[in-house]
Structure 1
């Protein structure tokens, strides 16, 4: 609805059921459906005609068409649109994007779509190949996303990290972490907060509690953010298992440095957000990308209405649907990194025949851990599936080509299992397990309550001391008896 016809801020859709018609409004934060118009009713016929006239008078911007940024393919050349729409990757191919930099216009020529996020609500991230004379010697991608207006931008956070790295670097040297961060060349926001914007009117209506079934309405304001970046290579284009191991260790170290020094927590580690670059000598450097959901610690910004992360890679604690599932902890990102390793090693194998450069060299094994990717499953059920995975006796279905990762994966799995077991022994307030025992099961006689011995509180930040950076680094830095490159050896406990 929002992505198959070009760049759209919102969409208007007509729902027809025999002689009844409803007008629906869609954007990335809300769906609003009008009352049904009954065409057999004389009064409703007048409403229908009024609706047609009103829709006809809408400007392109009011219809959600952002023609001033990308010449809309649906409008400029409908015959071309009909052709390229058969291949979604070609939707923007050959079109021009107009941005502004330092008061001057810059034009990018768009290519094929590299990645498109699925889902109606949320950021709707789209990454596209591009070229531009402004950066003619650099391979580029353009990222189009719709993040919450309350969050710091990716460039703001990376500027903080880069400044800290330059401050910590030795004279005449480049800090090692810069090899593991994306290179943002330009970022531009387009806001929809003027008095007559559709989004502002919708926000006022929803936040005012109108037309939301009598419940309190909350509308999440968003901005259109367009980011121009240096192109990187997806992790799936690697063919050597040692290179995968090095990338995983690089991401672990970079993530820890970001948390300890510029105080940035990523909060969305997934397979799509781990990439790599190579230097002139062919050395592989893992790169952690997509800081749209990241936050400075302590988190002071307004919380998004939706939890952060990609469900198959989200920590089981964060998937629980309780009203307050707790804060996003450092160890939750470690858990997400473990899931990335797990999915690479258990759901993929390296294709024997070398594939074209830059494309995936992995063949998916969809049967393994398939329930983690079941989009019909609720987050609460997925949380239970993941928790039971750690106590399951079944061995990991590691692919033969990634067998070298099995010792590491098994060890981390055992650590999570031990931490979960210990936490279950300390019942949470409000749980039935916290109720006092009033019967002696041996004698079936009432007990006299005895004062309990003081117990040290469970350290949830590290899952009882089982999950931290030091443990991960210890089991990951040697792969198949070979030492990997380690740059961040700080094993001090992370700040709470």
Structure 2
């Protein structure tokens, strides 16, 4: 399977799938399709994304190796649970929907390498916000994403830290209504972590101005993502 982005990778465990069909541990089968992208997150984690079919429905499969302290699904699922507890159900319209998660220990062909954990995430298929062609649809999508990000910071204590066009998505309801969705929580941090170790993975054109300076600030600020979101809107 080929990928759309060329990335310098750390040595990875052998390919874990014997065919284009992946048997999930809940007994269902996932039919793998074309690749979407490969991303080296800069935090020791590499994420591969491809389209797939689950129960005849289109989904997206993400799998990743890495020594991250928090797994992507844990971040947005914790936000979803909090939104339900508080009755802030509108937030659910702007977060990805995970359909299945599991972990597998993968042994390397190198006898000197330790086994690594493979994280598998199946989520609904979303669509790039760049596909929206009307001012109304695009405006609604961006406004929804902005409100969601503000809620994540102020209520859930989460900073996304990877705002770019490929993480700004949308879903379209059968009624025709557009919901902007903030995706890609691989680099998300808790507000009290103040981490900057991964920021250079975001394209320079979409970085907040302060992050383009040679001497980076000590901690990551809320306004950096908001500024980056503004640049994405202009793009």
Shorter-chain TM-score bucket reads 0.7 to 0.9
Which of 107, 118, 127 is matched with 2:29 structurally?
Answer: 107
Aligned length, in residue pairs: 230
Which of 152, 170, 189 is matched with 2:70 structurally?
Answer: 152
Shift of 1:120: 9.8
Which of 194, 203, 206 is matched with 1:313 structurally?
Answer: 206
* Cα distance change on mapping 1:252 and 1:130 into 2, 3 Å: same
Could you tell me whether the CA contact under 8 Å between 1:275 and 1:286 is conserved in 2? yes
Could you tell me whether the CA contact under 8 Å between 2:36 and 2:50 is conserved in 1? yes
Number of the residue aligned with 1:437: none
Q: Distance in 1 between matches of 2:148 and 2:43?
A: 30
Could you tell me whether the CA contact under 8 Å between 2:101 and 2:122 is conserved in 1? yes
Q: Which runs of 5+ in 1 are unaligned?
A: 6-25, 31-62, 73-94, 202-221, 344-496
Correspondences of 1:260-275 after superposition (within 5 Å)? 260-275=154-169
Kindly indicate whether residue 234 of structure 2 is the aligned counterpart of residue 342 of structure 1: yes
Correspondences of 1:214-293 after superposition (within 5 Å)? 223-293=117-187
TM-score (norm 1): 0.42
Number of the residue aligned with 2:9: 28
Aligned-partner SS, 1:100? coil
Q: Distance in 2 between matches of 1:114 and 1:154?
A: 17
Correspondences of 1:422-437 after superposition (within 5 Å)? none
Could you tell me whether the CA contact under 8 Å between 1:29 and 1:121 is conserved in 2? no
Kindly indicate whether residue 217 of structure 2 is the aligned counterpart of residue 325 of structure 1: yes
Number of the residue aligned with 1:142: 61
Task: Give the greater-gyration-radius structure (CA).
Answer: 1
Could you tell me whether the CA contact under 8 Å between 2:145 and 2:181 is conserved in 1? yes
Shift of 1:112: 1.5
Could you tell me whether the CA contact under 8 Å between 2:169 and 2:182 is conserved in 1? yes
Could you tell me whether the CA contact under 8 Å between 1:70 and 1:98 is conserved in 2? no
Q: Distance in 1 between matches of 2:149 and 2:97?
A: 16
Aligned-partner SS, 2:120? strand
Q: Distance in 2 between matches of 1:115 and 1:226?
A: 15
* Cα distance change on mapping 1:255 and 1:305 into 2, 3 Å: closer
Correspondences of 1:279-428 after superposition (within 5 Å)? 279-299=173-193, 306-307=198-199, 309-311=201-203, 312-322=205-215, 325-343=217-235
* Cα distance change on mapping 1:27 and 1:240 into 2, 3 Å: closer
Aligned-partner SS, 1:326? coil
Could you tell me whether the CA contact under 8 Å between 1:247 and 1:286 is conserved in 2? yes
Number of the residue aligned with 1:85: none
Which of 47, 52, 57 is matched with 1:125 structurally?
Answer: 47
Q: Distance in 2 between matches of 1:119 and 1:231?
A: 21
Shift of 1:246: 1.2
Higher strand fraction: Structure 1 or Structure 2?
A: 2
Could you tell me whether the CA contact under 8 Å between 2:39 and 2:47 is conserved in 1? yes
Q: Distance in 1 between matches of 2:102 and 2:8?
A: 20
Q: Distance in 1 between matches of 2:42 and 2:95?
A: 29
Kindly indicate whether residue 100 of structure 2 is the aligned counterpart of residue 186 of structure 1: yes
Q: Distance in 2 between matches of 1:238 and 1:266?
A: 23
* Cα distance change on mapping 1:249 and 1:224 into 2, 3 Å: same
TM-score (norm 2): 0.83
Q: Distance in 2 between matches of 1:320 and 1:70?
A: 43
